[in-house]
Amino acid sequence: MLVPKHIDVRALCFDVFGTVVDWYGSVQAEVQRLALPVDGGDFALAWRAGYAPAMQDVRSGALPWTDLDGLHRRILNRLLAERGIALQEAQAAELNRVWHRLQPWPDSVTGLTKLKRRFTITTLSNGHVALLLNMAKNAGLPWDMVLSAELFGHYKPDPEVYLGAARLLGLAPAQVMMVAAHPSDLRAAAACGLRTAYVPRPQERGPGGTMEAWTAGEFDLVADDFLALAQALGAG
């Protein structure tokens, strides 16, 4: 009889932005609420698009360690300037904190609650601890533990993040499953020996948004949402 490779998994580590929460819809709604003279969805995409290069500047050493509030604010300032929008400092700071108030996908809280009964469930995000804690309190995400790039001084996909998570959890990498909507994150986790679950979120980048390519069979599990993931892992 075939034994599934995820049989010994003890902890699930979740990517957060896009996998657990809907950054596109949340940022879009906030921009519209503020009545900024831009398309909310376009603004959300542009803000998020600045994130990978900013993080790369930290990973390469071009920028000293800067948390996500700092990176988001650098990008926001540029976007506002490019669009000729002047906000008061308090307004800009409040808008920048929208990333602390992102809303979960409809299945996130119910699915995590089921999975928590059987597994240790943690974040494993490039968001810093304070942001992830504020988000969890605001959205009702029932984490056992908040694990963040901040604890390791490295951003994903650096291996220090995945291996650091397993070490802190007191587990072998193969006892830890990374759950993400992003194949690139999962591939980096697998390269460190972690198990992988792919949960595609086709709405992540809004209507008609593109998704990373992937190949059938390259991940240990593929599930449509967290309820299906719970079912697949015997925690349904």
Binding site for a second copy (CB under 8 A): 120, 128-131, 133-134, 136-137, 143-146, 150-151, 168-171
CB of 144 to a second copy, least distance (A): 6
CB of 66 to a second copy, least distance (A): 14
| Nearest residue (CB) to a second copy, 128 versus 182 | 128
Residue 177: strand, helix, or coil: strand
Type of residue at 139: A
| Nearest residue (CB) to a second copy, 36 versus 235 | 235
> Cis omega (within 30 of 0) on the bond before 37?
no
| Nearest residue (CB) to a second copy, 46 versus 132 | 132
- Alpha helix (H) ranges present in 88-235? 89-96, 108-118, 129-139, 159-169, 183-191, 226-232
Please give the DSSP secondary-structure letter assigned to residue 21.
B
CB of 136 to a second copy, least distance (A): 7
- Name 14's bridge partners: 123, 179
| Nearest residue (CB) to a second copy, 128 versus 201 | 128
CB distance 212 to 188 below 8 Å: no
CB of 53 to a second copy, least distance (A): 24
CB of 130 to a second copy, least distance (A): 3
Q: Tokens standing for 152?
A: 């390791």
| Nearest residue (CB) to a second copy, 147 versus 181 | 147
CB count, 10 Å around CB of 110? 14
